[in-house]
Amino acid sequence: MTDLLKKAESLKEYYTSIRHKIHQNPEISFKEFETTKFIKKELNNMGIDILPLDIPTGVVAIIEGTKNGHGTVTALRADIDALQMEDLSGKPYASKNPGVAHACGHDGHVAILLGVAKLLNEMKDKFSGMVKLVFQPAEEGLGGSMIIINSGALKNPDVDAIVCLHGWPYFKVGEVGAWSGQYMASADKFLVKMIGKSGHGARPYKAVNPIMAASNAINAIPNIVSNEIVTAKQAVVTVCTIHAGTAFNVIPDLVEFGGTVRCLDPVVRDELETKIKRVVKGAAQMFGCQAEIEYNRGVPSLINDPELVDQVIKASADVLGNESIRELDGPVMGSEDFSYYIDAVGKGVFYRLGIGTGEEIEPIALHNSEFDFNDDAIPYGIATMVQLILNRHN
Ligand SMILES: [Zn+2]
Ligand SMILES: [Zn+2]
């Protein structure tokens, strides 16, 4: 075991207790007030500088290396929010907030980044430049990374690269993986109002049935991917909501349906928006309806910088051994607001940290109500991040 990993192991007990406290008191996106206070208190206890930012939740702290060398500035990011769902983990530290749970393991990410802060603060003489520790609010669907970017925290001095990890139940504890290049999809959403004319179910010729138009549109939309998008490009369009009607004998005025649009390529992203609108309008016209489409762009696709991927792999191998490196399946159609940072900073890497026991046949998935972060992974998360900083800042 390397010295660094030993040091990280020595922090395990404390940062496990931190993780349990956060797990027990989860807060949803942009409401992470107590979590923010708690993180600030921990950083204050370590004597680490916190940037005075005008943000309601979230924290950015800085640690300056004292070693002579170039002024590399690396940001390390942990997301801090929980999900609106029940915690059925059955753990003694299960959520005390009904309907809120740390089911994505962000409690683990916070504990790891606090451990990283502790070690880097004690090892200032071992690296040059500056590390910015970003405790970001609202990762789960609300794009909290934009709050951090707009706060100016990544400027002055400008961050050269941003790095984060995410717990991964499909790797064992002690394993790490990163995908080079396009890894996660952009995530856009649409909501369609198909407007007809209500009437008696027995006399459809006196009405305009929006259900006919909507069902045709819903059938046609997924075919855009198979028929109109270059086969080599990955994309998914899924209709996930539909609402219509109140009675078996009443044709409704309105059908509302909506869904999600995922792809990796920015050109395909534009194409999908145009084509979905065309299909919806075409279906409306076919049945004499009016269609209104609300189309919202969400996070862009996440593209890992190949050089930084190599650095993460090397740092992980340095501290955990070559056997710790796993092939990661990719790309995936999930999304992450970490991509906003990569676009803003110009360079970033999102890597996976094993939190599985290796014994489960089907590990409990992220966002499952029984999910709980694996504390055994905390030292490995700390050690890989610290080693990456020592390698990059020397
Ligand atoms: Zn999540
Ligand atoms: Zn997450």
What is the number of alpha carbons within 13 Å of residue 42 lying toward its C-beta? 28
Q: What is the pLDDT of residue 360?
A: 87
Query: Which of 261, 296, 331 is the endpoint of a domain?
Result: 296
* Range 219-230 average pLDDT: 96
Distance 168 CA to ligand 2 centre (A): 10
Q: Compute how many other C-beta atoms are within 10 angstroms of the C-beta atom of residue 2.
A: 13
Q: Name the E strands within the chain.
A: 49-50, 59-64, 73-79, 130-136, 161-172, 176-177, 181-184, 186-195, 199-200, 235-244, 250-251, 254-263, 290-296, 302-304, 348-356
Q: What angle do CA 322, 326, 327 make, to 5 degrees?
A: 130
- 243/352 same-domain check: no
Distance 106 CA to ligand 1 centre (A): 8
Query: Which of 246, 273, 296 is the endpoint of a domain?
Result: 296
CATH code assigned at 210: 3.30.70.360
Q: Say yes or no to pLDDT of 346 above 90.
A: yes
Distance 338 CA to ligand 1 centre (A): 12
CB 93 within 8 A of CB 373: no
Distance 366 CA to ligand 1 centre (A): 7
Distance 368 CA to ligand 1 centre (A): 10
Least confident of 139-148, 188-197, 297-306, 335-344: 139-148
Cα(51)–Cα(171) distance, rounded to whole angstroms? 35
Distance 82 CA to ligand 1 centre (A): 8
Q: What is the pLDDT of residue 207?
A: 98
Q: What is the pLDDT of residue 243?
A: 98
Distance 161 CA to ligand 1 centre (A): 23
Q: Compute how many other C-beta atoms are within 10 angstroms of the C-beta atom of residue 158.
A: 9
70 pLDDT band, cuts 50/70/90, is: confident
Distance 194 CA to ligand 2 centre (A): 34
Distance 329 CA to ligand 2 centre (A): 17
Q: Domain count of the chain?
A: 2
- 336/215 same-domain check: no
Distance 208 CA to ligand 1 centre (A): 41
Distance 140 CA to ligand 1 centre (A): 6
- 149/15 same-domain check: yes
- 43/118 same-domain check: yes
- 22/151 same-domain check: yes
Cα(120)–Cα(378) distance, rounded to whole angstroms? 15
- 154/254 same-domain check: no
Q: Give the three-class secondary structure for 139.
A: coil
Distance 140 CA to ligand 2 centre (A): 7
* Residues spanned by the domain of 78: 3-183+301-392
- 45/143 same-domain check: yes
Q: What is the pLDDT of residue 143?
A: 86
CATH code assigned at 75: 3.40.630.10
Distance 104 CA to ligand 2 centre (A): 5
- 161/42 same-domain check: yes
392 pLDDT band, cuts 50/70/90, is: very high
Ligand nearest to the CA of 79: 2
Q: Compute how many other C-beta atoms are within 10 angstroms of the C-beta atom of residue 20.
A: 19
Distance 280 CA to ligand 1 centre (A): 31
Cα(242)–Cα(252) distance, rounded to whole angstroms? 13
Q: Say yes or no to pLDDT of 1 above 90.
A: no
Q: What is the pLDDT of residue 196?
A: 98
Query: Which of 296, 324, 348 is the endpoint of a domain?
Result: 296
Distance 178 CA to ligand 1 centre (A): 18
Q: Give the three-class secondary structure for 45.
A: helix
With left for phi above 0 and alpha for psi between -120 and 50, is residue 63 left, alpha or beta?
beta
Q: Say yes or no to pLDDT of 159 above 90.
A: yes
- 278/176 same-domain check: no
- 287/314 same-domain check: no
Ligand nearest to the CA of 367: 1
- 176/275 same-domain check: no
Distance 142 CA to ligand 1 centre (A): 11
pLDDT in tens, 166-217: 999 999 999 999 999 999 999 999 999 999 999 999 999 999 999 999 999 9
Distances in Å between the Cα of 110 and the Cα atoms of 80, 156, 372 are 6, 24, 14
What DSSP line would sit under 353-368, residue for residue?
A: EEEE-S--SSPPPTT-
Distance 124 CA to ligand 1 centre (A): 33
Q: Say yes or no to pLDDT of 38 above 90.
A: yes
Q: Give the three-class secondary structure for 76.
A: strand
pTM to 2 decimal places: 0.92
- 168/235 same-domain check: no
Distance 107 CA to ligand 2 centre (A): 10
pLDDT in tens, 58-69: 999 999 999 999
| Dihedral angle of Cα 284, 285, 291, 295, to the nearest 10 degrees | 90
Q: What is the pLDDT of residue 292?
A: 98
Q: Say yes or no to pLDDT of 241 above 90.
A: yes
Q: What is the pLDDT of residue 138?
A: 97
pLDDT in tens, 72-86: 999 999 999 999 999
Q: What is the pLDDT of residue 24?
A: 98
What DSSP line would sit under 169-202, residue for residue?
A: EEEETT-EE---EEEE-EEEEEEEEEE-B-EETT
